[in-house]
Amino acid sequence: MRTELLFATNNANKLREAREILEPLGFDIISMKEAGVQIEPDETGDTFVRNAEIKACDVFNELDIRMPVIADDSGLCVKALGGRPGVYSARYAPEGERCAKLLEEMKDVPKGERDAYFECAIVYVDKYVCESFTGRCEGEIGFEERGENGFGYDPVFVRDGRTLAEMSAEEKNAISHRGAAMEKLVAYLRESYGV
Ligand code: ITT
């Protein structure tokens, strides 16, 4: 038996990755468009978990027919920048300009001091239930954009010598913050509901 989850995101790349990760495990991921929901929740929280809660709850409350909802809030935290852009990763610069702006800001930071990590909070909401799961992916910021895959900051995020944008979808999902958080979500759903 398959389990349906509505993914409260307006980011097509997150939707694709959620499907890659969760569909082989027996979950069908419904998009907001498919559910007929069209909202842009106000991400007023100052943590990834809080913003994911806001997105999941806002969308859950819009549904005519109830179904479990998940939301993802994620971002890149750079040590040399005191953790920025963090929860503001989507607002740091327009899509397509984020990597260049980050490389410019990091241009004087030497190799060895460019540690960074991606963080992802997944929140699961159903009637009477709100649970959060987090995952992290450690790496460093490169000196140039490399690779064509992935999205967002993937072309400048280096892990074991390659950027996430140089990895296949399977390779990225196996080590990513999103993959790690979703693995915990799946363990929870299996344990609590036997799905
Ligand atoms: P929704 O809120 O609709 O889900 P969003 O893109 O606005 O979509 P966030 O507020 O969580 O999502 O912003 C996260 C940003 O962090 C995202 O737009 C990317 O720029 C970046 N990001 C998150 N996960 C990433 C990943 O796996 N690879 C590269 N960049 C990522």
The CATH classification of domain 3-193, taken from the options 3.90.950.10, 3.30.1950.10, 3.80.30.20, 3.40.640.10: 3.90.950.10
CA-proximal residue: ligand 1, atom 11 (nearest): 73
Are the C-beta atoms of 139 and 150 separated by less than 8 Å? no
Show the DSSP H helices in 135-176 as ranges.
169-175
Residue 6, H or E segment: strand 3-7
* 29: pLDDT strictly greater than 90: yes
**pLDDT on residue 195:** 84
Please tell me the distance from the alpha carbon of residue 70 to that of residue 12, in angstroms, as a whole number.
15
Cβ(58) to ligand 1 under 6 A? no
The pLDDT assigned to 111 comes to 97
Instruction: Report the nearest-CA residue for atom 19 of ligand 1.
Output: 152
Q: What is the pLDDT of residue 152?
A: 97
For ligand 1, is residue 176 a contact (CB within 6 Å)?
A: yes
> Which residues are known to be catalytic?
73
pTM given for the model: 0.97
Asked if 77 and 116 touch (Cβ cutoff 8 Å), the reply is yes
Cα 10 to ligand 1 centroid, rounded to whole Å: 10
DSSP letters along 115-132, please? EEEEEEEEEEEETTEEEE
Tell me which residue has its CA closest to atom 15 in ligand 1. 90
Beta carbon of 134 within 6 Å of any ligand 1 atom? no
Confidence of residue 193 (pLDDT cuts 50, 70, 90): confident
Of residues 195 and 54, the one with the higher pLDDT is: 54
Q: Report which ligand 1 atom has the smallest distance to the Cα of 176.
A: 27
Nearest to 17 by CA among 122, 93, 97: 122
The ligand 1 atom nearest the CA atom of 95: 20
Residues 6+ apart with CB under 8 A from 107: none
Q: Ligand 1 centroid to 96 CA: how many Å?
A: 12
pLDDT of residue 158: 98
Whether residue 59 has pLDDT greater than 90? yes
Tokens of 64: 């005519």
pLDDT at position 83 is 98
